[in-house]
Amino acid sequence: MSRQLSVAVAEDRRSRMLADLAVIGVAIVWGASYPVTKVALSYAPVLVLIFYRFAATACIMAMLARHELASASRRDLVAAAALGAILAAIFTAEIAGIAHASATNAALIISLCTLFTPFLDAALSRKLPPKTVILGAVIACAGVSLLVGGLSTWSLGEALILLAAGLRSVVVVSTKRLMAGRALSSVALTATQAIVVSAVALAMLIGSQGLGELAVPAGAEFWLSVAFLSLFCTIVAFYVQNAAVRRTNPIRVGFSDGNRAALRFRTGSPALVRTRDGLDACGRRTDRGGDVPGPCRRACPCQ
């Protein structure tokens, strides 16, 4: 009995460690998302980018989970759809914020989701977080405020990214609580979330700008950006995050995920410059034909 217990504890520790490593890996991928998103936003408005990014994700993940989605219970699908609605709000706020703020400020502000997560989890558990966490949060918030130039210099972009940071902590904590005991796999969960986000983006686009905006006058640079964001920053990233939250706890995932801030902060690092330059080069090769117009900046989601 003692041996079986020891094996179970060892397996649990190994599972948690693998989940932490996977989330840190996702943080590295997400670190490249800001410069790539900036490239895509030079060709299309926010809602169009969100729609294409998540529509591609929805098609791929729904195909992989088609049998499970067809047999899933209504309660499981409703829970997954609720998380998708929160994600829709996150990405609308975050990508609109990226369009109006510098990548450096966005990286610093979005990292605050790491601090919000333990406070939200503690509030839902009806207990105070440790004093060291509270002190660290105050210092970190003050540091971020100073690094972005002080609260008096904040623009709409910074405010939107702060909102996205708060909502990110909500989705991490909510995923653990809403999906506890659910039969829905992480693949099916990611597919449902992507379907909801793309549907919300399309509905908002129709209501504010019209379907004509989907005809993006862009070459390979835009579509390669969408492909990178869909495949690596959405399909892989959200599958790993959903699986990690269900396997470990929201606070561990929040702190591991917060490592992406350091990567995003260093937008001039070789890895991110190579990503950006690679997309630029592909775009230039396509645009040399002369039949593809240059970037048309339409960053505001309500234009």
Span 100-122, mean pLDDT? 80
Residue 197 has a pLDDT of 97
Residue 140 has a pLDDT of 73
Question: Taking 90 as the threshold, does the pLDDT of residue 93 lie above it?
Answer: yes
Residue 295 has a pLDDT of 40
Identify which has the larger pLDDT, 22 or 87: 87
Residue 288 has a pLDDT of 34
Span 22-40, mean pLDDT? 74
DSSP the chain: -HHHHHHHHHHHHHHHHHHHHHHHHHHHHHHTHHHHHHHHHTTS-HHHHHHHHHHHHHHHHHHHTHHHHHH--HHHHHHHHHHHHHHHHHHHHHHHHHHHS-HHHHHHHHTTHHHHHHHHHHHHTTSPPPHHHHHHHHHHHHHHHHHTT-GGG--HHHHHHHHHHHHHHHHHHHHHHHSTT----HHHHHHHHHHHHHHHHHHHHHHHT-GGGGS----HHHHHHHHHHHIIIIIIHHHHHHHHHHHS-HHHHHHHHTTHHHHHH-TTSHHHHHHHHHHHHHHHHHHTTS-S--------TT-
Long-range contacts of 94-97 (CB under 8 A, 24+ apart): 94/160, 94/161, 94/164, 95/37, 95/41, 95/46, 95/49, 95/50, 95/301, 96/46, 96/157, 96/160, 96/299, 96/300, 96/301, 97/156, 97/157, 97/158, 97/159, 97/160, 97/161, 97/163, 97/164
pLDDT band for 286, please (50, 70, 90 cuts).
Answer: very low
Least confident of 26-30, 160-164, 238-242: 26-30
Least confident of 3-7, 165-169, 219-223: 3-7
Residue 49 has a pLDDT of 96
Q: Do residues 112 and 140 touch, judged by C-beta distance below 8 A? A: yes
- What is the per-residue pLDDT across 175-202, written as a single tens digit (0 to 9) for each? 888 888 788 888 999 999 999 999 999 9
- What is the per-residue pLDDT across 195-220, written as a single tens digit (0 to 9) for each? 999 999 999 999 999 999 999 988 89
Question: Taking 80 as the threshold, does the pLDDT of residue 235 lie above it?
Answer: yes
Q: What is the average pLDDT value for the chain, to the nearest integer? A: 77
> Which segment, 108-112, 144-148, 246-250, 287-291, is predicted with the most confidence on average?
108-112
pTM over cut 0.85: no
Nearest in space to 35 (alpha carbons), one of 255, 217, 260, 279: 279
Nearest in space to 27 (alpha carbons), one of 252, 268, 299, 274: 252
> Which segment, 150-159, 172-181, 219-228, is predicted with the most confidence on average?
219-228
